Structure formats: C-alpha cells, structure tokens
Amino acid sequence: MAGGGDLGRGEAVVTSTLVLASTSPQRRAILEQLRIPFELAEPRYVEHDPPDADPVSLVREHALGKARSVHEAGRITLGVDTTVHLGQRVYAKPSGEDDARAMLRDLAGRTHTLGEHRGKKILMVAWASW
C-alpha cells in the first residue's frame, strides 16, 4: 500500500552518486565495505569545539557544515561528525602530539563505546541533502 513518502514511488528513486564530505579514511572504508558508490569531497568547513558545548548540537552543526560546504544542487551530500565527551567536557581533535597524550591520559581506563557508558559519550551524526 503506497502512501506519502513511500520509497516505492518513482520520485523517491535516487540516481545521483553520493558525495562524502570527509577526509576520514574510516568513513570511506565504511561506505566501501557497504559497496555504496561515492565520490570524495574535502569539506571547506572549519570546526570549532568549545569545551562546554552541547555535544549533540555540536556534532549536528559540524555534520551539516561539512555537507553544506561542498554541496552542489542535484547531488546527494553526506556530512558526518563524531565527538567524544566526558562529563561536561567536549574533546576536540588533538592539535598535536602533546594534546593527544593529554586526551589519552584523561580517557585512560574508560571503555569506549557508542552511546553512553559511565558518563562518556561518543556521538555520530550524519546529514544528507539532495
């Protein structure tokens, strides 16, 4: 039974190649493992990660910003972001070796999972436009 938004309708068929707005080898590997054809585009979006930011809002903003920075009309664009936070602190990407060591010391002994585990969260958000 077809209804509004039913994927069986012709207008829902996508014929454009997915554009992945990312430089991440991990994101590329996921799409390759799923055998989803895609093109890469390096985002022109600059991330700002205030330590007191709301993690959910932050990853949504980053995913959307990355996708919008490379989106072209008529294309399907995917922007994805992941962040780590412990308690009230959001961890940005390490700026160098010293920063990476400090982050690892803070997170040492804590289990890394998707979702929440003992106050630590890893959030991933994807945004697509067509």
Each residue's pLDDT tens digit in the chain (130 positions)? Answer: 444 444 444 454 556 789 999 998 988 998 999 999 999 999 999 988 887 788 888 888 888 899 999 998 888 898 888 877 777 777 777 889 999 898 888 888 875 443 443 444 444 555 555 5
Q: Which of 23, 66, 55, 53 is nearest to 124 (CA)?
A: 55
- Among 6, 54, 81, 106, which one carries the catalytic annotation? 81
**Judging by DSSP bridges, how do beta strands 115-117 and 120-129 pair with one another?**
antiparallel
99 carries an active-site annotation: no
- The structural domains of the chain, ordered by start, are 16-129 (3.90.950.10)
Residue 20 CB: number of other CB atoms within 10 A?
25
Please state whether the predicted TM-score (pTM) of the whole model is above 0.75. no
**Judging by DSSP bridges, how do beta strands 120-129 and 76-86 pair with one another?**
antiparallel
Calculated CA dihedral for residues 87, 110, 26, 103, nearest 10 degrees: 60
